Structures are given as structure tokens and as C-alpha cells.
Amino acid sequence: MARSVTPRRKLINTTVAWAIGLLIFFPILWTILTSFKSEAEAIAAPPIFLGFDWTLENYRIVMERSDYGRFLWNSIIIAGLSTVLGCIIAVPAAWSMAFVPSKRTKDILLWMLSTKMLPAVGVLYPIYLIFIELGLLDSRAGLVVVLMLINLPIIVWMLYTYFKEIPGEILEAARMDGATLRQELIYVLTPMAVPGIASTLLLNFILAWNEAFWTLNLTAVNAAPLTAFIASYSSPEGLFFAKLSAASTMAIAPILILGWFSQKQLVRGLTFGAVK
Amino acid sequence: MSLKSTLRAATALSLITAGSAFADGHSATITIATVNNGDMIRMQGYTDQFTEATGIAVEWVTLEENVLRQRVTTDITTSGGQFDIMTIGMYETPIWGANDWLVPLDDLSAEYDAGDILPAMAGGLSYNGTLFAAPFYGESSMIMYRTDLMEAAGLEMPAAPSWSFIAKAAREMTDRDNDINGVCLRGKAGWGEGGAFITAMSNSFGARWFDEDWNAQFDTREWSDTLNFYKNMMDDSGPAGFATNGFNENLSLFNQGKCGMWIDATVAASFVTGADSTVADSVGFALAPDNGLGKRSNWLWAWALAIPAGTQQVDEAKQFIEWATGTGYIEQVAANEGWANVPPGARTSLYENPDYQAVPFAQMTLDSILSADPTDSTVDPSPYVGIQFAAIPEFAGIATEVSQEFSAAYAGQQSIEEALEKAQAITNEAMEAAGYR
Amino acid sequence: MATKASRSAARIMMAPAVILLLGWMLVPLIMTLWFSFRVYLPLRGGDQGWAGFDNYTRFVSSSSFWPAVQTTLIIVLGVLAITVIFGILIALLLDQPIWGQGVVRILVIAPFFVMPTVSALVWKNMFMDPVNGLFAHLWRFFGAEPVSWLSDASMGSIIMIVSWQWLPFATLILLTAVQSLDSEQLEAAEMDGAPWLKRFWFIVLPHLSRAITIVILIQTIFLLAIFAEIFVTTGGAFGTRTLSYLIFQRVLESQNVGLGSAGGVYAIILANIIAIFLMRIVGKNLD
């Protein structure tokens, strides 16, 4: 509904919007700044905003203490594969729900969402025991499957809403031209749904990256992602604000950068069918 | 791409990643779960030397204390087999030992000299006389105080003060204008945080958790005296927001010169006299206070290394434990970083070493450890072992909830009577659920 | 339009997702149900036989149960209210022509990328710490006594932390809805002299209702499960123990899996009550 406004209005709007944006972003900015301070400067009173001795010491300590590369790689693999796997399973399901709806379609959709309501802590023991039986503890494969299942309802839901926006007539026309189901999926539907699928992938990558219960409880060394990395930097002995900030920055930086590059996609695509 | 082949590709992909997880571990790699304390992190820096000497590679899983407990407990109770060595405390060791979940450490080498472990520590880390975990460092609690502020207040700290003296000194030392609090104590919820402190303190007031029939005792005058004394003293002379202060918060306050006295773990002594401290030159030490009832308010704790029974690499794990908790490691740290930085409280020989005796807090640490007896910690008889805890499986859960009620009372959100009533109910409920009553 | 063939094809295509989720739901659910009727104490040697309904009665009659339900609802409702209201305002603002719109949008959505553990740690230590936190410095600067946020204003603090994390999500969804608003209709209303509030109430809000419903639905699912934020900040003290935190305490801290599993069953029931309630509204709004 964007309209043209007077320059004065625009100035006011700009000021307010920037103020709010900076306010919301400030905790992250402050964390990043603190990560370049010494521990003493990190707790200095009054706080120092920029005029401190910039140092990379905290990053050096964190790198020395933890194998950051491995945690990062695990995060990428687990979040990435669970998202891709989820999409592979969800695309056909969402397609059929959107284009061959039955009476029960909505019930199935809502039921899928309701599987997310089982409290994770309540089923830790069952899942842990199953993982032992299957030899999946501390394996990336196990986590990929769990995170995929956790996010599957959201993926199905998102894709369903995108697919529903694709006009049925186009499919109809394709079918008239003799397209098989498979051709229809690949040549007609997929291109139209690519923006939707892209933002679905993105959102689920973020959700999987940030999942902090199963990734922490089902891993030890081999599959431990960044959520486990950060668990070793909270409240140790002594001053730790600067080191905590460095570790935090390292944990969120990759996803933050990815998010920034793809924010247009997110802004456009994250609708869940909110727009009719 | 058909659905089938896609699925097949995805399965293959995840199998490859799973496979690579096994591929990077060669035959002798041990996995150790540990807590992110300063001494533990220092040890990680030295592991390369262990690997060089033995050819055994070490993988560390370093976690914050609460996460560590949750992680290792789940793993040990389900025989998950994720770790070859677990870092546990005096609370877990006897319980797990009794369940045969730990490998007995009764055949350590003569060179290691298990007899050198301080008897109090060895006792707390054994079950039925068998050692199940080797102490990496041990601690009791004691008073750390500012000698300069004490002098300015015209007082002299006795070697073994009473609670009334502490309350008086705290009042005298408090200087709100200069942001100096007479006394800093733990108030944070959690059985290992404020819960440990108040339980140890209550011992000196004649209180106990359970009577001999496992009935909760929070309805007694002794508990109400303990909490009232604590809260009055902290309101008068404690820091703002003490209800959320734990070990680390108080350490940071003390190091910034904001506390006159601090009663906490003896291992803190090396931090408050170390490089991070602004008051390192004026710290004195004294035994934890008593109330004239024959029990002091100091606790006993050790962070120790134990081997879960399911591991395939018992020998390698034992080699590591001997290296990490042996005298060789202590000497190495002393040579590189000074005697004040060695892991304290575990070995008798350390306290017989003249170099270590020269460290200002060495003697007081030893005296504190020696004056703590987990088998006889309360004035009235109690059915449990442990000073700041009761070594029963249910304790951690109960004490965490009880300490949450206490913290709410410290913060003024409920009265002490209410907190004690709830504590009584929580404890009895849980003990019934566990089948004690 | 659907032929019989495409119907059966549809069923086959849906099968993997449905079967997987059914398994993911049923296996843990059945195990949880099983444990909930057992005396299962891992530290006392594991499964020790039937408990009947003991775990269920014990969990509900515990003095912590109702306060936990209440806490859960307050947190969910509090966060929903904050994120929806501010989400709408920010979405409306971001829709206006402003300089540097792209950058502002990035700033606003950034918290969504921060993992809950990190955000809880950062807020707890670097902002809410009553001695060294930034808020304490700010309060002292204005001559006020620093507040111990996590004890004296525990619920407010947690609601704030969680809201900060979820505000971007609400804003994003609401923004796409705002952008699809028909500007001519609004302009016409403006011409007619309808005041801002009226335009908002009668044109903007109805248009957003669908988006708001979706924000509420999806966020509720995630908010019922928040854990890390409480674990890191208060550990359940000061009245912040939610139902899922209570279950955590029973299962992991007290090591009473039977009791915790009974709690899990209650949590599922509660979640489903909320779900049915939500579905009613959503169902109406989704067609």
C-alpha cells in the first residue's frame, strides 16, 4: 500500500524506523562490539561504546579452546540436510494437498502441526533409548532425521500455502496438452513455486540451525553443532562477558550473514498463506 | 528425478555423513565430558602432551555445569555409552557407584599412589570402600575477606569466627556510598548454587534436611533461624540482587572490590589473589563460621573423573585419569604457571610440599577440608551422607526446587515462612513419590 | 477436477510425510504413555513396575502444577500480545517510503537468526545483570537503583527476551500482508476524511486478520515449547516455571521418568485444548 508522501513525513518516518531498527538490533551490535573488548573493558563502568582497544584476543582464545570448524561444519550439514530432506518429502505431500484436496486435507494439515506440540523434554528418554537401539547417538544422520521430522509440519504447511496460490487453470491447461503428472510437477509447478520453496528452505534452515534441545542432548563429539559449542561458554569462573560475546558472535554470524543476503527472499516469501 | 531416486539419494547422503562420523576416530580416542571450570580448561591445554606421551587422542565435550549434569546423567542411566570419562562430583559418585555404573578405580598403578588422595576426598568418592572417581580438584568452603576493610572497621578476623561476628563485621564494613557490601553470599536457585550454601550454613544452626525416618525438617525452628539470619544479614549488608548471585557473580563482585567478605569454595582463593583481581594484595582467609553448636558451615566437594561401565576403552581412560589427577600434572602446572594455579584439594603430598605451603591460602584450604565430615554433618542425627547435599538420587531435584522457593524469599517475593512451608511440602511430596515414606 | 488416478497418486505422494510424522508422533507417544504408568526411576535401577494412575494424580496434585500452567499461559499470551501489536506497528512503518528501507528491514529481522541459547545468555549477562549489565549502568546513570531483572521482574524479563526473538517473525508475516493492502481503498477513505484510527480499524485490521491468525497459530506452537530461555536465565525460579520446564525438572533433575511422562501427557492434552481452540479460529480464517 506504499504511497507517495511529503518529504517531511518521509523524514519523520525514516527517523522513527531507524530508531526502532537500531533498538531491536542493539543487543546483537552490543554483543559484537563486546567481543572485541578485553574482559575488563567489557564490564567497565560506565560502559565503553567504541573507544576501547580493539582486540582479537577473545576470538583467539575461543579458537584455541574449541574446534570451531567442526561445530560449524556440523551445523551446516545438519541444518542443510534436514531441510533438503524435509523438502523432498514435503513437496509431493503439499502438492497433493493443494491440488487434489479431499475432505480430510485440512484435518491432516492441522494434525501435522499438532505433532509439534509434544513437549521435547517429555520424550527425551524414549528418543534417547531409541537412538541407543539404532546406534544413532552422536551421529549426524540421527539429528538430520529428528530435525527434519520436527520441521516437516512447518515445511508442508508453507509449501501448501504457496501451491494453493498457483491457479488451477494453468495445471488444467497443461493436462489438456497431455502433460503427465510428472511433467506437470517438474515443468509447470516447480518453476512457479521456486520462490516459495526457496523461502521455505531458508526458514527451515534457520529453525534447524537454532534448535537447541535435541542437538545438545543427542550429541557428544562427532555430531555436535554450534548449539553445543555455545554451551561451554556460559558462566564459567571469572570474567567471561567478552569471551561469551566472541563465542556468541561466532555461533550466530554464519546464519546472520545468510539471513541478510536472503532477506528479500524472506520478506517476500514468508507468508504462510497470510495473503489471499 | 523421480521421487524414489531422490529418496535413495538422500538416504545415501545421510549414510555417508554418518559414516564419516566414524571414519575420523582412530582406534585410541577417548571422549571426555567435562565442566567449563577454569582448572578443567587449563587441563585441556595440556592434553597434547598426554597424547604425545601415550598416543591416545582425546576428544573434549566441554559443557556448562547444569547442561553437563543433564547430559551425563541421561547417558549413564540409559547406558548410552557416549563418553569414556565423565566429570562428576561427590554427589553423583556414590549413587552411580552403588548402581555399578562406574568402573572401580581400585587397580591404579603404584606410581599413581592412590593412597596419596586426601582421605576426605577419597571417602566422598567411594562407595563401600571402593574408589569410583579420582579427584581432579577438591574444595571446602571458607571465608575470604578484605584485610584492609577489616582493619578500617577496627576489627580483627578470628581464625574460626562465629556467625554473630560475621554479621557484625559485615554491618561495619558495609559502605553503600562506595558500593562496598559487607558480605557476599550465594542466593541463586539451584542445588549446587545457593542450595549448597544454605544447606551447609544450616548445619551450623543445628538444622538438617531429614530426620531419621526421612521426614522433611523445614518446619523446624533451626531452619527458620537459618533463613532469617541469612536474609537479615544480606538485607543489611549484602549486594543488591543477591538472590540471583551464584559463585561466579560473587567472584566477579569480590574481584571488583565490592565485597568485604565472601564465604565460598576454597578454590576461589586462587582467583581472588590472581591476576583478574583488583584486591589481590589484601585478601585474608578464615574458617567458615559456626554457631557454637559443634558444626561449622563449610562443605566438601570434588570434581572428579570417573569411567562409565559401558566404555570399550577402560585402559586408555585409566591412563588419562592417572595422568590428569596425578602428581606429574600438578608439577607441570606449577612449573609453568606457579603453585597458586595448580588444582588444589586432592592430594596430601601437595600440602606437604614446602613450595605449596608458601601459597597464602594453602593451609586454610587444608584446614577447611579436614574439618568437613560428610558422614557426620548435622548436629542432630540424620540418615544421609553429605554436607551440602544428601547423597540420595532424589536430592538434586528436590533441592533445586526448594532453593527456588528460598531464592524467591530472598528476593522478597514471599515470606520465609511461606518458603519453608512450600519447601516442606515439595520435599515430602517427592520423598513419597520415591517411596521413602 | 481430480480424477481417480490423480487421487490415488495424491495419496501415494502424501504417504511418506504422513507415515513419517505418524511414526514420529506415535512411537514417542506410546512410550511416554507406557512410562507414565510405570514407576520408572533411572537412578534407582530403572523400571520398577506398575504405578497405576499414581503418576497422574501426583503430577496434578503437586503444588507446582497449576502455577506452571498459569505461567505457561501468561508467557504465551504475553509474547503473542507484544509481538502482534508491535509487529503490526512496525510492519505499517516499514511499508511507508523511508530512506534505507532495506537496511532497516535487516536490522528488524536480525533477532530471528539468533539461537535461543545465545539470546538468553546475552540478555541475562550483558543487559540484565544487576551489577555489570547495561541496564544497570543506564539506571545508575539516571540516579536510580539498578533492578534485579531476573528475580524482581522475572516474568516480564522472560516475556521480553522471547518477544525480542519472535517479533521479527510476526513483523515479516504481517509486512507481506500489509504490502498487499489495496492502497486505493485507503486513499479513498482518506479523501472521505476518515481519521487514521478509523482507517486502521475498519480497513487495515480486517485485511490483516488472516495474517494475525497465522502468526498466533505458528508462534503458539513454538512458544508452548520454550525451554532454553528459562533454563539459561532463571532456571525456573521466581515463578517462571512453565509446564514444559516442570516436566524437565521431573524427568531430568528429579530423575522420575514416570512422573515426568505423566506430566508430558498432561502437556499434550493442554496443547491440544489450545490447538483445538486455535484451529476453530484458524479454520474459519483459512478458507
Domain boundaries, chain C: 48-286
Q: Is the torsion defined by CA of B333, B339, B341, B342 positive or negative?
A: positive
Neighbours of chain B (3+ CB pairs under 8 A): A, C
Q: Is the pLDDT of residue B4 over 50?
A: no
Residues B240 and B216 in one domain: yes
> Would you call B62 and A43 a contact, using CB atoms and an 8 Å cutoff?
no
* Chain B residues with CB-CB distance to A217 below 8 A: 70-71, 74
- A221 in contact with B, Cβ within 8 Å: yes
Interchain CB contact of B430 with C (< 8 Å): yes
**Inter-CA distances, C198 with A276, B317, C14, C189, Å:** 23, 73, 45, 9
Going by C-alpha positions, the residue among B268, B266, B267 that lies closest to residue B254 is: B268
Task: Specify whether A84 is located in the same domain as A26.
Answer: no
Contact in structure between A192 and A174 (CB atoms under 8 Å):
no
Interface touch B21/A236, C-beta < 8 Å: no
Residue C169 distance to chain A (closest CA, Å): 9
C21, C9 contact by CB (below 8 A): no
Domain-terminating residue out of B328, B357, B386: B357
Average pLDDT rounded to a whole number, residues B82-107 = 95
pLDDT, mean of residues A109-130: 85
Q: List the single residue in C64, C151, C259 with the smallest CB-CB distance to B433.
A: C259
Q: What is the mean pLDDT of residues B357-361?
A: 94
Residue B216 phi, psi dihedral angles, 5° rounding: -60, 145
CA A12 to chain C, closest CA, distance in angstroms equals: 9
Residue B50 inside a domain? The answer is yes
Do B165 and B289 form a contact (C-beta atoms < 8 A)?
yes
Interval B198-225 mean pLDDT: 96
Q: Do B266 and B220 fall within a single domain? A: yes
Angle at C213 between CA C207 and CA C216, to 5 degrees: 140
Query: What is residue B402's three-state secondary structure?
Result: helix
Question: Do residue B322 and residue B252 come from a single domain?
Answer: no
Average pLDDT over residues B66-82: 91
Is B278's Cβ below 8 Å from some Cβ in A?
Answer: no
Cell readout for C237 is: 525460579
Cβ of A39 within 8 Å of Cβ of B13? The answer is: no
C238, C250, C254 member nearest B413 (Cβ): C238
> Counting one residue from A and one from C, how many pairs have CB atoms under 8 Å apart?
321
Q: Which residue has the higher pLDDT, A178 or B410?
A: B410
Residue A184 lies in a domain: yes
B16 inside 8 A of chain A by CB: no
Omega before A46 within 30 of 0, i.e. cis: yes
Residues B178 and B263 in one domain: yes
Residue range(s) defining the domain that contains residue A216: 66-232
B113-147 tens-digit pLDDT: 999 999 999 999 999 999 999 999 999 999 999 99
Residue B170 and residue B235 in one domain:
yes
Dihedral angle of Cα B298, B299, B304, B306, to the nearest 10 degrees? 160
Neighboring chain B residues of A237 at a CB cutoff of 8 Å: 37-38, 247-248, 251, 268, 271
Give chain A positions within 8 Å (CB) of C97: 2-5, 10, 13
Residue B224 lies in a domain: yes
* Residue at which a domain ends, from A43, A60, A77: A60
CB nearest A232 (choices: B25, B63, B252): B63
**How confident is residue B72, by pLDDT bands cut at 50, 70 and 90?**
very high
Position of cell 522471547? C162
CA distance linking residue B404 with residue B399, whole number of Å: 8
Residues of A in contact with B10 (CB under 8 A): 81, 84-85, 88
Decide if pLDDT at B14 tops 70: no
pLDDT score, position B16: 45
CA distance C121 to chain A (A): 7
**A140 shares its domain with A212:** yes
pLDDT of A166: 79
In angstroms, what separates the C-alpha of A22 from chain C's closest C-alpha? 6
Give the least confident one: A56-70, A227-241, C124-138. Answer: A227-241
pLDDT in tens, A150-162: 999 999 988 888 8
Single out the residue of B303, B243, B271 nearest to residue B65, CA to CA: B303
Residues B76 and B212 in one domain: no
Contact check, Cβ <8 Å, B400/C235: yes
The pLDDT-based confidence of B17 (bands split at 50, 70, 90) is: very low
Longest CA–CA separation in chain C, Å: 77
Provide the H-helix boundaries in C96-182: 101-109, 116-122, 134-141, 149-152, 154-179
**B98 is a domain residue:** yes
Same domain (yes/no): B131, B147: no
Distance CA B407, CA B189 (A): 6
Tell me, what's the pLDDT at C2? 52
Provide, as residue numbers in chain B, all residues whose Cβ is less than 8 Å from the Cβ of A139: 18, 21
Residue A182 above 80 pLDDT?
Answer: no
Per CB-CB distance under 8 Å, the chain A contacts of B84 are none
Residue C16 sits at the chain B interface (C-beta within 8 Å): yes
Overall residue count recorded for chain B in this entry = 437
Please count the structural domains in chain B. 2
Residue spans of chain C under pLDDT 50: 1
**Per mean pLDDT, which range of A82-96, B19-33, B262-276, C125-139 is the poorest?**
B19-33
Query: Of B97, B84, B86, B87, nearest to B125 (Cα)?
Result: B97
B130: left (phi over 0), alpha (psi -120 to 50) or beta: beta
**Which among C1, C18, C215 has the least Cβ separation from residue A108?**
C18
CB B97 within 8 Å of CB B123: no
| Helices of type H across B146-210 | 147-152, 163-173, 194-204
How long is chain A?
A: 276
Q: What percent of chain A has pLDDT over 70?
A: 95
Closest residue to A141, CB basis, from B15, B63, B82: B15
CATH class of segment(s) C48-286: mainly alpha
Whether B281 and B336 share a structural domain: no
Number of domains in chain A: 2
Task: Report the first-to-last Cα separation within chain C, whole angstroms.
Answer: 19
Looking only at Cα atoms, what is the longest distance across chain B?
87
Mean predicted lDDT score pLDDT of chain B: 91
For the cut 90, the answer to whether the pLDDT of residue A254 exceeds it is yes
Q: What mean pLDDT comes out for the span A213-238?
A: 87
Q: C132 Cβ partners below 8 Å, 6+ apart?
A: A43, A45, A241, B252, C125
Q: Give the integer Cα–Cα distance in Å for A117 and B23.
A: 37
Q: Is residue A127 part of a domain?
A: yes
Which residues face B290 on adjacent strands? B162, B296
Do A79 and A30 lie in one domain? The reply is no
pTM of the model: 0.90
Q: A92 with A15, same domain?
A: no
Residue B44, class by beta-carbon neighbours within 10 Å (0-12 exposed, 13-18 middle, 19+ buried)?
middle
Nearest to C172 among A24, A154, A267 (CB): A267
A48 shares its domain with A171: no
* Core vs surface per residue C23-54: b (16+ CB within 10 A) or e: ebbeebbebbeebbbbbbbbbbeeeeeebeeb
Distance, CA of A86 to CA of A94 (rounded, Å): 12
CA distance C89 to C83: 10
Q: Does residue B296 lie within any of the structural domains? A: yes
> Neighbouring chains of C at 3+ CB pairs within 8 Å?
A, B
What is the structure's pLDDT at B371?
Answer: 92
Residue in chain C lying closest to B99 (CA): C45
Is the CB of residue B159 less than 8 Å from the CB of residue B287?
Answer: yes
Q: Residues 173..192 of B with a Cβ closer than 8 Å to C: which?
A: 189-190
What is the reported pLDDT for A191? 78
- Give chain B positions within 8 Å (CB) of A88: 3, 6-7, 10
CA separation (Å) from B128 to B100, B105, B123, B398?
Answer: 12, 13, 9, 25
Cβ contacts of C67-70, under 8 Å, gap ≥ 24: C67/C239, C67/C241, C68/C241, C68/C242, C68/C243, C68/C245, C68/C246, C69/C243, C69/C270
| Residue A272 is assigned to a structural domain of this protein | no
Give alpha helix (H) positions in chain A. 7-34, 39-42, 57-65, 68-99, 105-114, 124-134, 140-165, 168-176, 181-183, 190-210, 214-217, 226-230, 241-261, 263-269
Q: Is the pLDDT of residue B18 over 70?
A: no
Claim to verify: residue B112 and residue B203 sit in the same structural domain: no
Do B433 and C58 lie within an 8 Å CB cutoff? yes
The confidence score (pLDDT) of residue C3 equals 64
A70 interaction partners in chain B (CB closer than 8 Å): none
Q: A-chain residues within 8 Å CB-CB of C222?
A: 116
Same structural domain, A47 and A103 = no
Q: Which residues contact A253 (CB under 8 A, 6 or more apart)?
A: none
Position A92 pLDDT exceeds 50: yes
pLDDT of residue A272: 72
The CA distance from C261 to C267, in Å, is: 10
Nearest-Cα distance to chain A for B251, in Å, is: 7
Residue-level pLDDT at A7: 85
The verdict on A18 and A151 lying in the same domain is: no
Please give, rounded to a whole number of angstroms, the shortest distance from the CA of C221 to a CA of chain B.
Answer: 25
CATH number at residue A162: 1.10.3720.10
Asked if residue B215 and residue B172 are part of one domain, the reply reads: yes
B113 and B287 in contact (C-beta within 8 Å)? no
A175 and A119 co-located in one domain: yes
* Residue B244 · residue C151 · CB < 8 Å: yes
For residues A34-44, give the mean pLDDT.
Answer: 90
User: What is the rounded distance in angstroms from the CA atom of residue C191 to the CA atom of residue B418?
Assistant: 63
> B396: Cβ–Cβ under 8 A, 6 or more apart, which residues?
B69, B91, B191, B389, C253, C254, C255
Whole-number Å distance between alpha carbons of B91 and B97 = 11
| In a domain? residue A260 | no
Within 13 Å of residue B395, how many CA atoms lie on the same side as its CB? 22
Chain A interface test: which of B20, B40, B61 (most A C-beta within 10 Å): B61
Residue labelled with grid coordinates 582493619: B151
Indicate whether B255 and B279 sit together in one domain.
yes
Å between C52 CA and nearest CA of chain A: 19
Is A217 part of the contact surface with chain B (CB cutoff 8 Å)? yes
Give yes or no: residues B193 and B91 share one domain.
no
Contact between C41 and B407 using a beta-carbon 8 Å cutoff: no
Q: Are residues A89 and A222 in the same domain?
A: yes
Rounded CA separation A236/B335 (Å): 25
For residue A249, is it within any domain? Answer: no
- Give the contacts of B397 (CB within 8 A, at least 6 positions apart): B430, C249, C250, C253, C254, C255, C256
Query: Could you count the other beta carbons within 10 Å of the beta carbon of residue B104?
Result: 15
Cell of A225: 553443532
Question: pLDDT tens digit string along B213-263?
Answer: 999 999 999 999 999 999 999 999 999 889 989 998 899 899 999 999 999
> Is B423 in contact with B404 (CB distance < 8 Å)?
no
If one counts every other C-beta atom within 10 angstroms of the C-beta of residue A172, the result is 11
Q: A145 and chain B: CB distance < 8 Å anywhere? A: yes
Residues facing residue B264 across a β-bridge: B142
The CA-based angle C95-C97-C101, given to 5 degrees, is: 75
The answer to whether residue B352 sits within a structural domain is yes
Average pLDDT over residues B183-196: 94
pLDDT of residue A270: 73
Domain that holds residue B173: 141-300+376-433
CATH number at residue B308: 3.40.190.10
For residue B7, tell me if it sits in a domain. no
Do residue C214 and residue A274 have CB atoms under 8 angstroms apart?
yes
Asked whether residue A50 falls in the same domain as residue A75, the answer is no
Q: Which chains have at least 3 CB atom pairs separated by less than 8 Å from chain A?
A: B, C
% helix, strand, coil for chain B, step of 5: 50, 15, 35
A196 and A83 in one domain? yes
Do residue C132 and residue B252 have CB atoms under 8 angstroms apart?
yes
A54 and A121 both lie in a single domain: no
Amino acid at A197: I
